[in-house]
Amino acid sequence: MNTNKDVIPFLDLIAQHSPLKDELMQVMSGAIDSAGFIGGPLVSGFEADFARYVRTQYAVGVGSGTDALRLALMALGIGGGARVITVPNTFIATTEAISQAGAQIDFVDVDGDTCLMDPNSLEDFLNDCFAKRKPAERPVAIVPVHLYGQCADMDAIQDLAKRYELKVLEDAAQAHGATYKGKSAGGLGEAAAFSFYPGKNLGALGEAGAVTTDDRSVAEKVQILRDHGQHMKYYHSMEGYNSRLDAIQAGFLRVKLHYLDEWNDKRRQIAAIYDQSFVGVDEVRPIKIAPGNVSCYHLYVIRVKERDALQVKLKEAGIMTGLHYPLPLHLQECYKTLGFGKGAFPRAEKAASELLSLPIYPSMRLEQAARVAQKVKQFVSVL
C-alpha cells in the first residue's frame, strides 16, 4: 500500500509556490495598501515584461486564456460566420473561442508523431476548399495549437496562410518559453493567445491570460474589448466584455516570470530522463519533438496501446498521470451538429486512445522521474 510519501503527483503546485510565498504575499500586501486592484502598474508592468520575454511589441492581459483567444480573433476582424481552421485534439477553449467570436469551426488532422497540426492535411483541405467552396464559405484564419509545449510547423503554416491570404492566431496556452527555430512562441503569427491557468508553466493563482502581437491596432482593439469597449472611461466605441487581467494576478505572474526559464530547464531535465529511459522500448513512443523546436514540456506525453491499463497500474504504484485529451472535439456531444463521425480525423482519434501524460513539474526530483520510467517499462512489458 502506498503512503503519501510514496505518491508521485501529476503536478505539485504547493511545492512550486511555497518558496515564493514571501514574494507573492508582498504583491498582495502592496495591492491592499494601494487599493490597486484593477489596472495600474501591476498590470502594465507584467504586460511589458511578458512582451519582452516573448519578444513581441505588445502583450495585453485579459481574464483567461479562453478570453485571449476570443478577443484576439475579434481584434483580427474574424467573426460574422467566417470559417477558422484548427485541430480536433485540443482543449475545447480553442473552439469555444472561435464560436464565441461569431466564427465557424473547420478541422484538419494532426501529424501522427507530434500530434501538431499537419501541414499536408492543411494544404489538402485548403486546396479543396478554394476549389469547391463559394468565397463566403472559405476559411479566413488558422489557429495552430502549440500542444504539450512545442510549436506547430509555423513556416509551413505561414506559407499556406500567405498563399491563401489567411490570418494566423497561435494558441500558445501550453507554450510559455517554447521556441521555434530560435523564435519565441507567441511571436510567430499575427497574434497569439496565452493562458495563465494555475497549472501552466507560467500560471497565475487564479484565472488569467494574455494576447501578444506586433500589430498595434490588434493590441489596441483587445485593450478596448477587454474593458467594456471603452476607449476612455464611460466612452464606448463598441460593446465589449469584462475581461480585464486582475491586478493581483498580474503581480503574481510578474514574480513568477523571473523563474520561468529555470522551471522550464528543470522540466527539460525530467524529459531527458524519460527520453533516455524509453530508448529501445518499442511499446512506448514519446511524442516526437520536431526539428527546430525547443519544447518547454508543459506535458510529457507517451503513446502506448494499452493506455488505460497502464494508467491503472501506475496509479496502483502511486504514480498519478493525465489524459490530454481522451475524446477529440469533433466527436464531442456539443459538436454533433458539425456532422463529423468516427474516422473523420483518424490520426487525432488514434492518438486520443493511446496518449498518456506522465508527471513533469519543476519540483519533481530526478529519481522520481527515473522511478516513473522504470514502472512504465515494467508494466508495458506485461500488458
Domain with CATH 3.90.1150.10 in the chain: 260-380
Element (H, E) at 168: strand 167-171
Q: Which amino acid is at 306?
A: E
CATH of domain 16-257: 3.40.640.10
| pLDDT at 6 (0 to 100) | 86
Q: For domain 260-380, give the CATH superfamily.
A: Aspartate Aminotransferase, domain 1 (3.90.1150.10)
Q: What angle separates helix 260-278 from helix 366-380, to the nearest 10 degrees?
A: 30
Give Cα separations from 223 to 17, 240, 315 (angstroms).
30, 10, 45
Residues 6+ apart with CB under 8 A from 44: none
| Whole-number Å distance between alpha carbons of 141 and 83 | 7
Give Cα separations from 187 to 52, 142, 151, 318 (angstroms).
11, 15, 11, 40
Is residue 278 within 8 A of residue 358, CB to CB? The reply is no
| pLDDT at 383 (0 to 100) | 81
| Whole-number Å distance between alpha carbons of 269 and 360 | 10
| pLDDT at 349 (0 to 100) | 98
| pLDDT at 2 (0 to 100) | 59
Q: How far apart are the first and last CA of the chain?
A: 21
Q: Is the dihedral of CA 184, 209, 45, 265 positive or negative?
A: negative
| pLDDT at 115 (0 to 100) | 98
Output the nine-digit C-alpha cell for 280.
529501445
Output the nine-digit C-alpha cell for 215.
500589430
Q: What is the mean pLDDT of each run of 10 residues along the chain (383 residues)?
A: 77 97 98 95 98 98 98 97 98 98 98 98 98 96 98 98 98 98 98 98 98 98 97 94 98 98 98 98 98 98 97 98 98 97 98 98 98 98 87
Residues 6+ apart with CB under 8 A from 199: 11, 13
| pLDDT at 211 (0 to 100) | 99
pTM given for the model: 0.97
From the list 278, 269, 287, the residue with the least C-alpha distance to 355 is: 287
Sheet holding 179-180: strands in order across? 183-184, 179-180, 293-294
Is residue 211 within 8 A of residue 68, CB to CB? The reply is yes
| pLDDT at 4 (0 to 100) | 64
Domain with CATH 3.40.640.10 in the chain: 16-257
| pLDDT at 145 (0 to 100) | 98
| Whole-number Å distance between alpha carbons of 99 and 93 | 10
| pLDDT at 281 (0 to 100) | 97
